[in-house]
Chains A and B, each alone.
Chain A
Amino acid sequence: MYQTESWGSPYVPASGRNGVGSYSGGGGDPFERIERLAAESAVVIFSISSCCMCHAIKRLFCGMGVNPTVYELDQAGDPIAGKEMELALMRLIGASSAAALPVVFVGGKLVGAMDRVMASHINGTLVPLLKDAGALWL
């Protein structure tokens, strides 16, 4: 199983901090929560700890020298909140199946799931985006 510690510390696992877990229900719908969390860091990845595609996307950013903030939705303090956000993300990226995650935000703006992230990296738009957000320095 995935352990956040085993990834080393190039990025900061946020589940447990004042992120997903501690933001208990009642106030705010999942979309608002997502938007808020996405705006807090330059690069935000919503992930599932056991998902290997999520692992791949983390490796991608680390390989580029970026420090993403990762929210493991399956390790949220409140599992219902986590699940709500997962569904919300699915709607945001227009995914029909359950395989919505990982989802990436850069500079508070939605980039998308793995295919969009890779496409933007290949067509050269990801790096400028990262630089603008202050996540990457030349």
Chain B
Amino acid sequence: MFPSWPMRFHHQQQGSSRSGGESTDSGSGVNTISSKAEANIEPESPISRKAASSSSDHYHFQHHQMDQLAVSNGGAGPSSSSHHHIQQQNQSADKPPNEKRKGISSEKPLDAKTLRRLAQNREAARKSRLRKKVQAYVQQLETSRIKLSQLEQELQRARQQGLFLGGCSGAGGNLSSAAAMFDMEYARWLEDDLRHMSELRAGLHAHLSDSDLRITVDRYISHYDEIFRLKGVTAKSDVFHLITGVWATPAERCFLWMGGFRPSELIKMLISQLDPLTEQQVMGIYSLQHSSQQAEEALSQGLDQLQQSLVDTIAGGPVIDGMQQMAVALGKLANLEGFVRQADNLRQQTLHQLRRILTVRQAARCFLVIGEYYGRLRALSSLWASRPRDTLMGDENSCQTTTDLQMVQPSQSHFTNF
């Protein structure tokens, strides 16, 4: 409360010394407040008196003596503050050295424009701090999400092993053992991904030679080859786990195509970020986008046909032989594995082709972009999950997010008053 007084009372000064000044209106508005504040000084303790008097050079006291007394004593003063007329132009008030007011209390009048600029600077600084905070928070979330998923999977596996009676998948838990295994490996893969990305980043910043950078880039490609291999193995046992995207975060799952990313969409995302490219490279990229689109379309149509065929098998009509019907249906369902594998194959080939089209440095940047994009998508899922809602479930996280995100608004209205 007290620190803000000097400002307001300074406004008073402006209002009185300049006729028709910009600050007159605000000054008059503050008038009542300040006089009220003054009046409130009286019943308060000597401490408040001291605070009031230390900022005395901003207001003009009718009783000079009183003022000097207050300043020198720094202590109790008579209750004549109510007699003080603030409007009076008495410039002879002492100016005790006070760092805080040096900038404000100069003879040059501080107009509203400067104040606004200062306010905007503070605003910008606050926004930048907020941005940094959010970034750090996102990073934190991502790390803890990975840890959490790892823990969950380990817990599942332990539970599975305890209850496992052999053969039956899904016994005692939501996940089959193959699925649980995959989730665990995938969590580890995500950690590796972060590591690879920081290697790429470091390599680019350190301006490594192309041959050195190539090693890092090729390692990243192998890293992706590894996840495709993993998915291939899992597809044999639990293709539904892959194709329904249980292993992915909600935002990723939303845009999932056949158990993973859609290559043509990835390339679309990359096109704008890969500048500068030679004309030949541009053609190569567009050609890649085109051919992956065609391949995706073909696979999607094949999958549609599979679904149609399955529906025909198990839908309506007289059931001559139920078990036979089911056996046929199971046979058709088994084809799902093939489609997920071909989709992963397409994804893998697309990444390899990107590597071929781009130079080493471009490829490094490209894979960094890809990694960061999916990292952000995953973080988005986490933030979404912890966003403030009107439901009963109020996380601690959501409160923090709300406070942070709403910080900006009140501050804007705060400054428009002046």
Contact = CB atoms under 8 A, between A and B. Distances in A.
Contacts of A99: 338
Contact of B353 (A1, A123, A127): A123
Given A55-B305, A122-B292, A63 B297 contact: yes
A53 B303 CA distance: 8
Chain A interface category by residue count: 20 to 34
A99 B306 CA distance: 15
Contact of A60 (B295, B306, B338, B345): B295
Contact of A53 (B284, B297, B338): B338
Interface in B349-390: 349-350, 352-353, 356
Chain B interface category by residue count: 20 to 34
A121 B342 contact: no
Main secondary structure of the interface of B (DSSP, over half): helix
Nearest to B293: A63
Contact of B295 (A1, A51, A55, A121): A121
Contacts of A127: 291
A42 B4 CA distance: 86
B349 A122 contact: yes
Main secondary structure of the interface of A (DSSP, over half): helix
Given A119-B349, A122-B349, A122-B350, A52 B291 contact: no
B324 to A, nearest CB: 15
B305 A52 contact: yes
B288 interface: yes
B298 A57 contact: yes
B302 A118 contact: no
B142 to A, nearest CB: 31
Interface string A115-132: 100110111101100000
B17 interface: no
A51 B309 CA distance: 10
Contact of B309 (A50, A57, A115, A118): A50
Contacts of B140: none
A124 B335 contact: no
A3 B255 CA distance: 33
20 contacts: A1-B312, A50-B309, A52-B302, A53-B342, A55-B305, A56-B298, A56-B302, A59-B297, A59-B298, A59-B302, A60-B294, A60-B297, A118-B342, A121-B295, A123-B349, A123-B352, A123-B353, A124-B287, A124-B291, A126-B291
Pick the 10 closest A-B CB pairs, nearest first. Answer: A56-B302, A60-B298, A122-B349, A52-B306, A52-B305, A59-B301, A59-B298, A55-B305, A56-B298, A52-B302
Given A115-B341, A115-B342, A123-B353, 13 more contacts: A2-B305, A52-B306, A53-B338, A53-B342, A55-B302, A59-B301, A60-B297, A114-B342, A115-B345, A118-B342, A122-B291, A122-B295, A122-B353
